[in-house]
Amino acid sequence: QVQLQESGPGLVKPSQTLSLTCTVSGGSIISDDSYWSWIRQYPGKGLEWIGDIYYSGSTHYNPSLKSRPSISLDTSKNQFSLKMNSVTAADTAVYYCAIRRRVKTDYFDSWGQGILVTVSS
Amino acid sequence: QSALTQPPSASGSPGQSVTISCTGTSRDVGAYNYVSWYRQYPAKAPKLIIFEVTERPSGVPDRFSGSRSGNTASLTVSGLQTEDEATYFCSSYAGANNLVFGGGTNLTVL
């Protein structure tokens, strides 16, 4: 059973860059049926898909977020990361990393426990 | 504002059935067989309970079932149990690698 664990700062100042890492254990990030994803959940409970990355390095992002997010992976550490620039209070949320299955299907079947990121000065 | 519309709350008594709707458009729910449902307990991560509109992952009881009519998908929980009290989210593929979620429905078991 693949497990995911988010890490990173819980407090980010407005206009700065949010940086989070997801460590994958129990399986390899080099997997042909897995897209490594970031999702966030606002305090009011709504969920938003941020984007994902395939082991080849191919990325896809939620078009509503414009060019703010950037997802990368480090196969040597079995990790993938999220950076989001120019954050505001509206980016305050619980951030989850998850595995998105997308080969002739589409769903998230493994999630990390989530990490609360607060944007405040 | 979430892309898919769910009722904010639903309720039922133990043993009863309850259905939660998820309304999208012809560009997401109505276009692809990739609707999924997730259950979330407070302070926990969501867990997959339905994928591809009607399919259940291994280990999910058959009390949970999914369906779709046009641009609206539905999750039915039969034989309600107290442990079913949670928040339920739907999601759908929306084309061009995009995916959208519903706003979530708080299910109360009375």
Q: How far is A113 from chain B (nearest CA, A)?
A: 6
C-beta atoms of B91 and A111 within 8 A: no
Record the tokens describing residue A74, joined without a space: 């480090």
Residues from B in contact with A at Cβ < 8 Å: 2, 32, 34, 36, 38, 44-48, 51-52, 57, 87, 89, 91, 93, 96-101, 103-104
Tally of CA atoms within 13 A in the half-sphere of B65 that contains its CB: 10
Over 90: is that where the pLDDT of B60 sits? yes
Record the tokens describing residue B92, joined without a space: 């759908």
Q: What is the pLDDT of residue B3?
A: 86
Over 70: is that where the pLDDT of B23 sits? yes
Q: What is the pLDDT of residue A20?
A: 98
Spatial distance between the Cα atoms of B102 and A19, rounded to a whole number of angstroms: 26
- Say if residues B108 and A71 touch (Cβ distance below 8 Å): no
B71-91 tens-digit pLDDT: 999 999 999 999 999 999 999
C-beta atoms of A47 and B91 within 8 A: yes
Spatial distance between the Cα atoms of B69 and B36, rounded to a whole number of angstroms: 14
Over 90: is that where the pLDDT of B38 sits? yes
**Whole-number average pLDDT of chain B:** 96
Measured between CB atoms, which of A48, A96, A107 is closest to B36?
A107
Task: Find the mean pLDDT for residues B30-55.
Answer: 97
**Among A35, A25, A102, CA closest to A71:** A35
Q: What is the pLDDT of residue A36?
A: 98
Q: What is the pLDDT of residue A44?
A: 81
Q: What is the pLDDT of residue B2?
A: 67
Over 80: is that where the pLDDT of B1 sits? no
Task: Find the mean pLDDT for residues B54-68.
Answer: 97
pLDDT tens for chain A, 121 residues: list them.
899 999 999 999 999 999 999 999 999 999 999 999 999 999 988 899 999 999 999 999 999 998 999 999 999 999 999 999 999 999 999 999 999 999 889 999 999 999 999 999 9
Task: Find the mean pLDDT for residues B53-69.
Answer: 97
C-beta atoms of B103 and A46 within 8 A: yes
Interface of A with B in 26-85 (CB under 8 A): 45-49, 60, 62-63
Chain A hits for B91, Cβ within 8 Å: 47, 49, 107-108
Task: Find the mean pLDDT for residues B88-108.
Answer: 96
**Among A57, A92, A85, CA closest to A69:** A85
